[in-house]
Chains A and B, each alone.
Chain A
Amino acid sequence: MAEPRADLRASIRLQRGELAIDVALACPPGITCVMGPSGSGKSTLLAALAGLVAPDAGRIAIGDEVWFARDAGRPASVDVAVHARQLAYVFQGLALFPHMTARANVMYGMQDVARDARPGKAQALLERLGVGHLAARRPRTFSGGEAQRVALARALARSPRLVLLDEPFSALDRALRAQLIALVRELVSELGVPLVHVTHSPAEARQLADQVVRIERGRVVACGGAADVLANVTSLDD
């Protein structure tokens, strides 16, 4: 078992059609915002970290626990299956299971928790995120903000070692987004794990990020504190 509060260290090279990614990341516990114009490879980078897309070469490790290692032109020497990487992933479209209640969605990732303890733990998480009253309802009936909170609760229920957020707040209004950003900050600080957050919004990155990584055409063009990387940036398509 790797040590708690471990850094994410990743170097990823992959080619998917027109998109070529060649990125090295070092993310300490806390929030790293990955920013860049549309099509710069941000979501593919998250998918690669999660194991949903296999890099052509590179290495992904949380502390001393290696999830992926592959030299160019050779088969992977390490490739931990997606289900075995202890991570939380909130997808852009949230991907809540429509045939399950909010509680069942949150319990889905609790395979390591005793069966009879799962409903209570799921309910507590939903309460913590302010959506306890939705526990017995299905996602079709949720508002955008409610669905975001349930998706966060589901992702965090696994006690993750790495949290990946793929623009989960993009469809929310400013007030709701600010509320959720504060909540994410609080939860990540408690967990003490790296969180990689893909966003288009410089304002969101300024509010959230301990570190900002700016990507263009699959390459890191700037990395550092939000104030340095986002100085004079109002839109990522600038």
Chain B
Amino acid sequence: MWSVNWAPLWLSLQIASLSTVATLIVGTALSLVLAWRRLPARHLFDAVVSAPLVLPPTVLGYYLFVALGRGSPIGRAWEWLFGAPIVFTFTGAVFAAAAGSLPLVVRSIRLGIESVEPNLIAAARTLGARPWRVVWTVVLPLAAPGIIAGAMLGFARALGDYGATQMLVGSRIDGTPTASIFVMDKLLLTGRNDQVFAMSLATTIVGVTLLYLANRLTHRLHHRG
């Protein structure tokens, strides 16, 4: 039996979970704004939100380092509020994972929102619903498959984040690497192929299982009407 240190996988799962929660909240808000056709500079805003998809992960990590570092206004405000910096911490790893997965989450949720039949929204309005009630009771429930697919993609992307995490956090968080950094380190520095294989296999099993469950859930929601 392999003697594998599972702490990196556990750390990555924690980071990906928190990143998914954060990107779902921010991503849903951004998707609602982007789905509003009269938004000024909508295409430019969309391009900025989607930028992490086309940036090299290290460049994204660099931007995050500049924006969230201890000398930046956000970094200083965070440290003042919570007593610890963002960079080189667990929080930083969550930020890095979330930044990389946000555009995937937004695209998926937006597709879900835009697939809601306009007549259903119009019907809700004529039945006396104010805009927020229309969003909560009609738009978001009917966009649920897109939201779940977004969460699934975001989680998978966050679980495997490497470049941005390296730039913002370094190779260890309190002495433990994330699963992807662990794989790279073991392969390059120790040549422990058994550990690399075990971690890769475990990450794959976790990822594929979650994708499968999310697919099943999405399918059920699609056919529940």
Could you list which residues of chain A lie within 8 angstroms of chain B, going by C-beta atoms?
47, 50, 52, 82-89, 91, 93, 95-99, 108-109, 111-112, 138-140, 154-155, 158
B224 in the interface (beta carbon within 8 A): yes
Q: Beyond the given A99-B224, A158-B127, could you list 20 further A-B residue pairs with CB under 8 A, ordered by the A residue number?
A: A52-B122, A82-B122, A82-B126, A83-B126, A84-B128, A86-B128, A89-B123, A95-B117, A95-B120, A96-B123, A97-B120, A98-B142, A99-B141, A99-B142, A108-B127, A109-B128, A138-B224, A138-B225, A139-B225, A140-B225
23 contacts between A and B (CB under 8 A): A52-B122, A52-B125, A82-B122, A82-B126, A83-B129, A83-B130, A84-B128, A85-B126, A87-B126, A91-B123, A95-B117, A95-B120, A97-B124, A97-B138, A99-B141, A99-B224, A99-B225, A108-B137, A111-B129, A139-B225, A140-B225, A154-B127, A155-B127
State A91–B126 Cα separation when bound (angstroms).
10
Could you list which residues of chain B lie within 8 angstroms of chain A, going by C-beta atoms?
117, 119-120, 122-130, 137-138, 141-142, 224-225
CB contacts (< 8 Å) of A97 on chain B: these are: 120, 123-124, 138
A91 touches B127 (CB 8 A): no
| A127 nearest CB across to chain B (Å) | 20
CB contacts (< 8 Å) of A108 on chain B: these are: 124, 127, 129, 137
Most buried by A among B128, B129, B224: B128
Nearest chain A residue, comparing its CB with the CB of B142: A99
Nearest chain A residue, comparing its CB with the CB of B124: A108
CB contacts (< 8 Å) of A93 on chain B: these are: 117, 119
User: CB within 8 A of B128: which of A47, A96, A140, A158?
Assistant: A158
Of all A-B residue pairs in the complex, the 3 with the closest CB atoms, nearest first, are A98-B225, A109-B127, A95-B123
CB contacts (< 8 Å) of A95 on chain B: these are: 117, 119-120, 122-123
| B127 nearest CB across to chain A (Å) | 4
| B14 nearest CB across to chain A (Å) | 33
